[in-house]
Amino acid sequence: MPVLSRFYGVVIKMFFRRSEHNPPHIHALYGEYAGLVDIKTGEMLEGDLPERALSLVREWTAKYRDELTQIWDTQQFCPLPPLD
């Protein structure tokens, strides 16, 4: 699972397999915590990210929503910048 971005201790990844299930989502890792976050809504689909980490992931996801959707649709890896 390639790393799309890293920021403030958060690692963002996405599976690149045609069998990956919908809705389009990213995997966010923060220390021993992990969560699946919906690209379109920012909703945590499953997992246990701390609120501060989830807030950062939602901010980053909103900023790169179009790029993430394109990556999901094309299944072509493209690293994205971290939060400033």
- Region of 42 please: left (phi>0), alpha (psi -120 to 50) or beta: left
Tell me which residue range forms the domain holding 62.
3-74
Please tell me the total count of domains within the chain. Answer: 1
pTM of the model: 0.92
The pLDDT tens digits of the residues spanning 37-75 come to 999 999 999 999 999 999 999 999 999 999 999 999 998
Look at residue 16 and tell me whether its pLDDT is greater than 90: no
**Mean pLDDT value across residues 16-34:** 87
25 domain residue, yes or no: yes
The pLDDT tens digits of the residues spanning 62-71 come to 999 999 999 9
Q: SS3 of 6, please?
A: strand
Query: Is there a contact between 46 and 38 (Cβ–Cβ < 8 Å)?
Result: no
29 domain residue, yes or no: yes
What local confidence, expressed as pLDDT, does residue 48 receive?
96
pLDDT interval class at 18 (50, 70, 90): low
Calpha distance 42→39 (Å, rounded): 6
Q: List the alpha helices (DSSP H) in 14-64.
A: 51-63
